[in-house]
Structure 1
Amino acid sequence: MSSAQRKPSTANDGFFQTVPSIRNQFYDDVSFQRVMDLFLPKSVIESITPELANFGDEILSKRIFDWVTDAERNVPYVRGGGRDAFGRRTSELVVSEGWRQLQNFGIENGIVAIGYEQKYSESTRVVQMLKNHLWTGSNANVSCPSAMTDGAAKLLKTHLFSTQLEPASRRVFQDAYDRLISRDPQKAWTSGQWMTERGGGSDVSGTETIATWAPSNDGFVSNLPLGPWRIDGFKWFSSATDSSMTVLLAQTPKGLSTFFAPICRTLPNTSASPIEKESNGIFIQRLKNKFGTKSLPTAELELSNTRGYLIGKEGQGIQEISAILNITRVYSAISAVGYLGRGLAIAKSFAKVREVGAGKGKRLMLKDSPLHMNTMAKIAGEYHSLNLFTFFGTWLLGISEQDQIPARSEPPSSRARLQPDDPANIQLLLRVLFPVLKATVCKRSIHTLQECMEALGGVGYLDNTENESINIARIYRDCCVLSIWEGTTDVLASDTLRVLSGRIGNGVLNAMDRWISKALGSDFGSSPFASAKRDITTIWGTLRDRLRKESHEKLLPSARDILFQISDIIMGVLLIVDSENDINPAAMEVCFRFLEEHGLASSGALRNLEGGLKLNQQIVYGDGMEKSFASQSKL
């Protein structure tokens, strides 16, 4: 149509873009479905499908996104700036109704509780984290306190099994544990985790919080006495500030130690007046103003005569707190792939409704653009590699929490190739897996999520609170924190190298040797990945020998490169096993591309498959690209 025939557009007339409609990711996410098939028995998949499919629908509802918008718009604040009308110190944190409702929704749906109900034995953690994965893009960061709550529950559970726990601590820990894993919002607690001080982030060696043995009867919590330790100090970063309890580090005469402390205490009832609650000596100095995670209250806290209980032994604080760190690092990885999965879902839905020029007067949908779909296929491939790595770690965590390696009650599967035969090997793998997993998945998800945002053009950069379901800018901001908290990339690289060059280093390397050999198999035969398997084995052998021969000091400048090389090898193995599970052409192509791009196979030596439009569409949308599921976003 010539310009002379066109009518001028107005604010209310002319072209309006169709709003993308996100499908239920339980069905629509190709990688999500493949992860389930690889890491869960068929009987478990059949059992969880109704619940997770319904959950996938609920979290895309208008009600949920209205809560998200409310939590983002009405950010937390301290009433009165921390003082009452007459200048007395207070510490009343105010959070939005949306935040409270999202928190309660997560509790009711067992975001933490599933991990402790043990309904699916060694598959329990995978089921729990599949639900968390779906939940990430819709929860406005309530998964942060969930992560710390889960970690605190695991730590307390460990000590409740101990015969050395004295009776008063046992009663308090049992009460707290029962609340941490509850599905009842009226009973449930969330937990904070307070480590960071002004002197350092992950470096807690200079902790200035002091714990003193000073028994007292100056209050109660849950009708149980407050702890016999007095804790004083200043915590620089404390997320989950609205929690009911916390686990924190403090110095004692015997060294850095871990403590349990409730946030509030009940005053003794000495008159006919109602029982009153007050802060357990915890005062908000100020709330942090952050780039993202705006809805999440993160504070600077002063602790003054805070009462608490020692967890474990004095001087073993790092050992105790590491149980929480392992859990929170898994949650960080799950959040990263959860954000990325949601970003990809938004970009996929946009490509189905956005029309662009194709030259010579032609127009086509983005989903039919060879260039755009090539980019989208790269995003989908990167996402799948990170998803496999994340759920491999989650699966091993679930197995490690069983009393013994479960006996196989089903026919041999690809999953069996990935399972170490010895429980000791699982523990050794996890010691290096957690830092490598968290560092790699969080770092790469941020970059790949930015590609999803760019796939929407200028609309992707907007803070689309009026269409919260496609507000990819919000989830990108929130995702950026994941490579920083619970250990930056360099901190985790240093931790990885410290493990590999330490006293258990040789054991970890041997465990990796055995795992790679078992997963790839001894007879490569006619596998389309035979050449790649030989290359991976050689590359791993070279890296392993280097780690054994060179000193920690010499390796340290390359620690980040070593970390990423280990992660690439692990993901390469996982992609091969996943591809050989069903010889799906799209999955095989994703694997081939990853191996070439990450230097795990000779370029061009793998296959002669064409990476054309149809194959890229299959990688992004799956086999049934045009299939319409009944479960879609209600927006």
Structure 2
Amino acid sequence: MEPRKASSSTSGFFQALPIVPPQYTSPSTSPSGTSSPHELSDDPVLARILSLYLPSPIPAQISSHLHDFSRLVLRPSTLQHTIDCDIDPPTIRPLTTFGEENRVDSLRTSEGWRELKKIQTPAGVVGHGYPHPQHGAPAQNFNRRTHQYGTLHLWHGTAAVSTCPMAMTDGAAVLLRRHFDDPDGDQPGRAAVFRESYDRLVSLDNSYAWTSGQWMTERSGGSDVRGTETVARRLTAQEIQADVATGRDKDDHNLPLGPWLVDGFKWFSSATDADMAVLLAQTAKGLSAFYAPLRRRAGHKANSSSSSASRATLTTESSAAAGQAYPSETNGVRIQRLKSKLGTKGVPTAELELKSMRAYLVGQEGQGVKEISSILNITRLHTASGAAGGWARGLAVSRSYTQVRKIRDGQLLCDNAQHLAWMAGETVKYRASVHLVFLAVALLGATEQDYGTITRGTLGAATLIPRTRAGQGNLLRLLTPVMKAQVSLNSVLGLRECMESLGGVGYCENNEDGGIMNIARLFRDSAVNPIWEGTTSVMAEDVARVLKNPKARGRNVLDETLGAWTRDVLRAVEGQGTFSRELDMVRNRYAVLEQTVRTSDSAALQRSGRDVLRHIEAVTCACLLMFDAVVDGDAVAVEIARRWVRMNAVPSDKVKLQEEQGPGDLTTEVDMDRRIFLGAAAMSSPLPATRQARL
């Protein structure tokens, strides 16, 4: 017998590198009748959801855009920006060469961060949510938000959280749009500033587009803004005239500056390199919302000293980009320090000191919380979207690895029944979460567009979206904090499972091979989602306030919103005869929720707030999954819905089910696990012995 040969750095076993396929594939790229249009995509739930809320067939401009973008996000050149963004964190240069405060370019971000931002703007991660009336452009007779968030879902796994400022940009656009018709009053030029800023926020053109910050958090507390210490006051006529005289009355895009002056300290800002910000500050009439550009003209003084001349030289690039011949500086913003965080390494999160920041009041004095809430609803939706999108990439890597990983006796991991059962269960949870996110997305779109327009020609929108604007808004108001809390938590747990499914490889920061295997990065980044824009506890309290709103005057808010919606969807499901047992289980779960809410006062409901979140999630996702399944009777979709309902049934229903169920057919169950987890890959290679590794 020949002695065994020792392995070395160049010899021995080497695992084949899995290749992650594009997440979405347009049905138009495959001959008709070859397979289900949903199964062409590696992530069939996205394709199924798009077919529910968009006209059937999906408009060509949307389908082709998502098809191409799903491939762009996996290009090695794109993924290299992701790596660079993660390993080259931002830094600050607080002083000039001779020790002056650097008011020109104190923040340095990585090339990767800047390049990812350049990719996402024309891709429409914000812009596709808004109308773009252009000569010859096709009419947008569909839910624009569904298109926008479909794009985001494909982007999140690659974006390295460069989507964070885009969330705030989206929210700021919604806020400014609400005030288009406000008179300028004692703030001359405000309406024009708001309109141009809005146009820039929703633009698809990198040379014109802006991003926005959202600055609320201070040292006194996170989501509790009542302790805000930042203050704002009106400038005097003399102060305004002094800025005019020195040429410091405009921002660096030649828009007039507002007549308010803001001073204070913001403890957590995740869009430090934005073009504008919406922030809270105290005035004589209480907490108020303000709009402020982040850069302004440096003024005539820029030519009066050598240090200012140097400053002008440093701003040549930014001034030229703005189409201006004069230098600019920060609008009273000084970066105190950058945060050191577990994840989101590329995001320039900073502590900011504001001194004499020129700003416009947004809305009415003292109504800042009301104004900022419109941004919070958007950013919470973006947070949940990011959570689901990162989870999608983790599962994609796990699927591809499962199909090439060799285990004992030459078998592949995809032939291991225990592994398939485990990851099929994770896939069920993921698909439920994505459905919940896109219901909220569709509801948001419905509140912004005509109901008839966005439901016409769709397979599910007319059933899943309430007909009245009030019904849409109320359901969205209730589900937004539920979605943000539960999807964020689920994704952290789900990505941990994806990491484990790769074994030791999953725990490593795999930045080789384009970083596609780096689930550790996705896990680190996902950990922030249950925290920012309101923790899970804050979301639970928010839901309790909705359900026990004193203005409801004793009405059953839960039953008028979620209850009515649930009954409508279950009636549509019941007519198909597929889920007789599961329908009863969902009704029983809802009955427990309704009784809990109805019999609890505000204090008791607050204490059980997390249980309420789980109840609402279980019922809503059950309705969505069952409805999705009966649209086309797809066997995998039916089984996924059935498994979700049964795993979330009330204890008595679970006991009955266990008593009634006999031993199932193991071969059939394993095959279904494979189809749920691996999707089209399972269909293409049904026999384990002949399964081909995807190389």
Aligned: 1:224 with 2:255: yes
Question: Is the CA contact (8 Å cut-off) linking 1:261 and 1:307 kept in structure 2?
Answer: yes
Aligned: 1:622 with 2:679: yes
Pairing partner for 1:35 from 37, 40, 49: 49
Q: What amino acid sits opposite 1:88 in the alignment?
A: E
Aligned: 1:243 with 2:274: yes
Aligned: 1:519 with 2:566: no
For residues 465 and 320 of structure 1, the distance between their equivalents in structure 2, rounded to whole angstroms, comes to 42
Q: Deviations over 1:408-431 (max 9, x none)?
A: 5337x3433212122211111111
Aligned match of 1:591: 641
Aligned: 1:137 with 2:169: no
1:463 partner SS: coil
Aligned: 1:185 with 2:209: no
Aligned match of 1:325: 376
Alignment of 1:534-613 (within 5 A): 534-599=584-649, 601-602=653-654, 603-604=657-658, 612-613=669-670
Change (3 A) 1:431 1:122: farther
Change (3 A) 1:43 1:592: closer
Aligned: 1:207 with 2:228: yes
Q: What amino acid sits opposite 1:612 in the alignment?
A: E
For residues 573 and 509 of structure 2, the distance between their equivalents in structure 1, rounded to whole angstroms, comes to 53
Question: Is the CA contact (8 Å cut-off) linking 1:429 and 1:508 kept in structure 2?
Answer: no
> Per-residue deviation at 1:232?
0.5
Change (3 A) 1:219 1:523: closer
> Per-residue deviation at 1:266?
0.8
1:117 partner SS: coil
Change (3 A) 1:524 1:72: closer
1:283 partner SS: strand
Pairing partner for 1:15 from 4, 13, 16: 13
Question: Is the CA contact (8 Å cut-off) linking 1:122 and 1:399 kept in structure 2?
Answer: no
Q: What amino acid sits opposite 1:138 in the alignment?
A: T
For residues 647 and 281 of structure 2, the distance between their equivalents in structure 1, rounded to whole angstroms, comes to 46
For residues 267 and 48 of structure 2, the distance between their equivalents in structure 1, rounded to whole angstroms, comes to 41
Aligned match of 1:530: 580
When structure 1 is superposed on structure 2, of 264-273 and 235-244 the one drifting more is 264-273
Q: What amino acid sits opposite 2:645 in the alignment?
A: L
> Per-residue deviation at 1:73?
1.8
Pairing partner for 2:99 from 71, 87, 92: 87
> Per-residue deviation at 1:512?
1.6
Aligned match of 1:48: 62
For residues 179 and 188 of structure 2, the distance between their equivalents in structure 1, rounded to whole angstroms, comes to 12
For residues 261 and 242 of structure 1, the distance between their equivalents in structure 2, rounded to whole angstroms, comes to 13
Aligned: 1:314 with 2:365: yes
Question: Is the CA contact (8 Å cut-off) linking 1:107 and 1:183 kept in structure 2?
Answer: yes
Alignment of 1:383-532 (within 5 A): 383-404=430-451, 406=453, 408-410=455-457, 413-467=459-513, 468-502=515-549, 503-504=551-552, 506-521=556-571, 524=574, 527-532=577-582
Pairing partner for 2:74 from 60, 71, 82: 60
Pairing partner for 1:280 from 331, 344, 347: 331
Question: Is the CA contact (8 Å cut-off) linking 2:293 and 2:331 kept in structure 1?
Answer: yes
Aligned match of 1:631: none
Alignment of 1:93-104 (within 5 A): 93-104=107-118
Aligned match of 1:374: 421
Change (3 A) 1:271 1:75: closer
Question: Is the CA contact (8 Å cut-off) linking 2:302 and 2:327 kept in structure 1?
Answer: no
Aligned: 1:256 with 2:279: no
When structure 1 is superposed on structure 2, of 145-154 and 579-588 the one drifting more is 579-588
Aligned: 1:148 with 2:168: yes
> Per-residue deviation at 1:598?
1.1
For residues 407 and 24 of structure 1, the distance between their equivalents in structure 2, rounded to whole angstroms, comes to 27
Aligned match of 2:38: none
Q: What amino acid sits opposite 2:260 in the alignment?
A: W
Question: Is the CA contact (8 Å cut-off) linking 2:390 and 2:526 kept in structure 1?
Answer: yes
Question: Is the CA contact (8 Å cut-off) linking 2:440 and 2:476 kept in structure 1?
Answer: yes
Q: Deviations over 1:200-228 (max 9, x none)?
A: 00111100000111152343112122111
For residues 469 and 627 of structure 1, the distance between their equivalents in structure 2, rounded to whole angstroms, comes to 24
Q: Deviations over 1:391-445 (max 9, x none)?
A: 011011111111555475337x343321212221111111111101100100111
Question: Is the CA contact (8 Å cut-off) linking 2:213 and 2:270 kept in structure 1?
Answer: yes
2:646 partner SS: helix
For residues 535 and 265 of structure 2, the distance between their equivalents in structure 1, rounded to whole angstroms, comes to 22
> Per-residue deviation at 1:563?
1.2
Residue ranges of structure 2 left out of the alignment (5+ in a row):
25-40, 133-138, 304-308, 310-324, 686-693
Question: Is the CA contact (8 Å cut-off) linking 1:501 and 1:548 kept in structure 2?
Answer: no
Q: Deviations over 1:580-635 (max 9, x none)?
A: 1122221121111111111255434689676622111111222453659xxxxx99
2:278 partner SS: strand
TM-score calculated relative to the size of structure 2 = 0.85
For residues 6 and 500 of structure 2, the distance between their equivalents in structure 1, rounded to whole angstroms, comes to 29
Aligned match of 1:111: 125
Residue ranges of structure 1 left out of the alignment (5+ in a row):
629-633
For residues 584 and 649 of structure 2, the distance between their equivalents in structure 1, rounded to whole angstroms, comes to 13
Change (3 A) 1:121 1:194: farther
> Per-residue deviation at 1:368?
1.4
Q: What amino acid sits opposite 2:670 in the alignment?
A: L
Instruction: Give the total of aligned pairs.
Output: 621
Question: Is the CA contact (8 Å cut-off) linking 1:449 and 1:476 kept in structure 2?
Answer: yes
Q: What amino acid sits opposite 2:443 in the alignment?
A: L
Change (3 A) 1:73 1:535: closer
Question: Is the CA contact (8 Å cut-off) linking 1:190 and 1:244 kept in structure 2?
Answer: yes
> Per-residue deviation at 1:268?
3.1
Aligned match of 1:73: 87
For residues 408 and 231 of structure 1, the distance between their equivalents in structure 2, rounded to whole angstroms, comes to 45
Change (3 A) 1:70 1:271: closer
For residues 661 and 355 of structure 2, the distance between their equivalents in structure 1, rounded to whole angstroms, comes to 64
1:384 partner SS: helix
> Per-residue deviation at 1:540?
1.6
Question: Is the CA contact (8 Å cut-off) linking 2:492 and 2:527 kept in structure 1?
Answer: yes
Question: Is the CA contact (8 Å cut-off) linking 1:428 and 1:508 kept in structure 2?
Answer: no
Question: Is the CA contact (8 Å cut-off) linking 1:67 and 1:99 kept in structure 2?
Answer: yes
Change (3 A) 1:624 1:66: closer
Aligned: 1:6 with 2:4: yes
1:305 partner SS: strand
Q: What amino acid sits opposite 2:370 in the alignment?
A: Q
For residues 554 and 254 of structure 1, the distance between their equivalents in structure 2, rounded to whole angstroms, comes to 34
